[in-house]
Amino acid sequence: MVKAAFDTEIEQRDNTINGPFRFPVQMLAEQEYGGHLSIHDDDQAQELGFSGAPIEGPTHFSQFDPLLYKIWGSAWFESGCISAHFKNVVVEGEEVQAFVELPAADEKITRLWAVKKTGEPVLEGTASLGPDHPETRLDSLMASRPTPENLVLLEGVKIGDKSPDRDIVVMDFDQHLGNSYPFTLASKLEKITEKCRWYTAEAAAQSPWSRPIIPTEMISPLVGYTKSGLKGPKGPSIGLFADLEVRMIKGPLFVGQNYQLEREVVGLGESKRTESMWIKTYISDPETGELLATTLLNSATLKQSYEHYAEEALRLGKEI
């Protein structure tokens, strides 16, 4: 007998459902890349004008899983897509609540958002069910923004750049994920905002697939803990996630199974404070080559974090 995945209390008001307020936990304080600490270190974050170290954006995805499971059942883990634009950072100690609009009976896409207890928005986006997904929030966002010219941090990065090698990755319960993600899946499951029976080895037999699945929020670490092989921003510099989409095509993804990754730059962007590259990662079965899932990440690098930004902008004839 397959038991329900979650015990999360869900409320319904008119055509919207929501979970309880949660306190997401910061687990990236010791993250390093390029030989330095990241924005998830308090001192680094405050130097860049943030009130504290941001909790990594994918952490908030877990609060949506019980809501989307309520709407679409186990199909959510097989062919669901969460597509989110992050609006404000959350620091540890702040409470967050997730909302999903109930779709019409024949609809395969709906709106979602999360807010702090103060009412400040955290993220907004869409959830959809595939495998043939309707246009997502990030599909429309990318289409609406022109490609900038004269990028400084991303000089030399081009749309269409691809990783030179196919990377094979795996995520086990007790596997340390390196400097980029200094924790294990087991330690994440102790602190994850929504407990799910299907994430654990002990209850795997109660899932539709009889194997423990990787949580939605951990698919980003799965594709990000190894080097991408892509040319990235100049450094040392510091970045953060501005947008993220996790799209299942033939899921779910399983703990302890090998996956093949191929990465491609599919967009470039710029704001007053950042330059960003949109990286699409294709997650495939390494034996058959079958595409199982994709992620789409807008990784935004803070201009002020790069010491030589002004002089290199001048060299490129770029106004700042």
**pTM, 2 dp:** 0.92
What is the pLDDT, as a whole number, of residue 1? 42
- Domains in the chain, ordered, with CATH? 11-315 (3.10.129.10)
What is the pLDDT, as a whole number, of residue 320? 72
Question: How is residue 3 annotated by DSSP?
Answer: P
- Gap between the Cα atoms of 1 and 196, Å rounded: 16
Torsion of CA 246, 242, 255, 281, to 10 degrees: 60
Peptide bond into 131 cis (omega under 30): yes
CB 26 within 8 A of CB 40: yes
Q: Other C-beta atoms within 10 Å of 124: how many?
A: 16
Q: Other C-beta atoms within 10 Å of 47: how many?
A: 13
What is the pLDDT, as a whole number, of residue 237? 85
CA-wise closest residue to 3 among 200, 265, 145: 200
CB 261 within 8 A of CB 167: yes
- Condensed to tens digits (0 to 9), the pLDDT of residues 148-161 reads 988 999 998 999 99
Stretches in the chain below the pLDDT threshold 50: 1-2, 31-33, 36, 38, 40, 42, 45
What is the pLDDT, as a whole number, of residue 36? 43
CA-wise closest residue to 239 among 280, 188, 273: 273
Burial (CB count <10 Å: 0-12, 13-18, 19+), residue 291: middle
CA-wise closest residue to 298 among 278, 274, 273: 278
C-alpha separations of 202 from 139, 196, 197, 212, 213 in Å: 38, 11, 8, 8, 12
What is the pLDDT, as a whole number, of residue 149? 84
- Gap between the Cα atoms of 113 and 95, Å rounded: 14
What is the pLDDT, as a whole number, of residue 51? 55
- Condensed to tens digits (0 to 9), the pLDDT of residues 69-104 reads 999 999 999 999 999 999 998 988 999 999 999 999
What is the pLDDT, as a whole number, of residue 316? 87
Map tokens 């609006």 to a residue: 87
